[in-house]
Amino acid sequence: MPRIPDDFLKAVVFIYPSQDAALEGLPEGGSGFLVSHGTPESDLRTCYVVTNAHVVESGGQWVRLDDGRIVNIPNEDWQTGIPDDYAVARLTVSDCTNTVQFPIETMALTPEEAQELNVGPGDDTFMIGRFSGHAGRAANNPVARFGNISLMPNRDDPILDGRGHRVEAYLVEMHTLSGFSGSAVCLLIESGSFRGNSYANPSTEIRLLGIDTGQKLIPIPVKEQAPPGHWTVRSDLRIDAMTAISIVTPIWKVTERLLRDDMAQERAEHAEQQLLARQTTTASHTDTD
């Protein structure tokens, strides 16, 4: 696995259920990352936080940015997927200042590009998010974990996730723990790597693959001995076994949400406000001069 660009780590945010938890860096909540989306009429971009719906539904409304700044995003400001496990919320211009964001139009892997690149089982992936055992207090301290695609999304054969929903998702062999939910999962295709039918890939590709939603658990039945030497299965008990296989919501689900008319209109209005603020600042400087 090649060296991960530092900017990727700076795009990671940590998400907490309270301001105190965010200030103290407590092992609660989950992870997220920043993306941006442009508008056709200008060079201005709108910044968003992306995480899991289940992180927000569990009270994750306090976002700690890379430099330690803490932003409160009320529950009603999040757009969540149904049934897909993602949540996205817009940040203000001031909150986005001095942050790193993934440009989602060029970084997000689309289904068409996945087919064109022949993405499939064995492809390298990495995940960047919060390791609750050493997250950092004054500022974020993201951790990277590494793995491989195990199964591609299949709309006709959805996966049962941890919330009991059938979802179109990747399965990725990658160890994860509580706190990594909402992490950015990236695809890495090295130059000259085998693409299933050739070695023609001319350059290294790093793309946003999706959002980690947690491990795919397998229920293990519990047996009891009664009478001695005979075992019976308890129908009322089970143990959820860890599998080291993560369910990853495809990033194109978020892209599709951002392209909806209401969100595109919000970006256009946001760009107009930024342009007006820019013109006001320029006029003020001109008058001063």
Rg (CA), the chain: 21
CA angle 16, 108, 89 (to 5 degrees): 35
pLDDT digits (tens, 9 = 90+) for 111-130: 999 998 899 999 999 999 99
Position 17 in a domain: yes
Position 97 in a domain: yes
Position 161 in a domain: yes
Give the domain range for residue 241: 6-288
Q: Which residues contact 41 (CB under 8 A, 6 or more apart)?
A: 268, 271
- pLDDT of the residue at 289: 58
Question: Which CATH number covers residue 57?
Answer: 2.40.10.10
Position 180 in a domain: yes
142: left (phi over 0), alpha (psi -120 to 50) or beta: beta
Q: Which amino acid is at 250?
A: P
Position 58 in a domain: yes
CA proximity to 130, closest of 208, 86, 183, 56:
183
Confirm if 188 and 1 have CB atoms less than 8 A apart.
Answer: yes
* Whole-structure pTM value: 0.88
Q: Which residues of the chain have pLDDT under 70?
A: 135, 138, 199-201, 278-289
Position 94 in a domain: yes
Position 1 in a domain: no
> How many distinct structural domains can be found in the chain?
1
CA 201 from chain centre, in angstroms, equals 26
Position 150 in a domain: yes
Paired tokens of 172: 């990725």
Paired tokens of 116: 């064109």
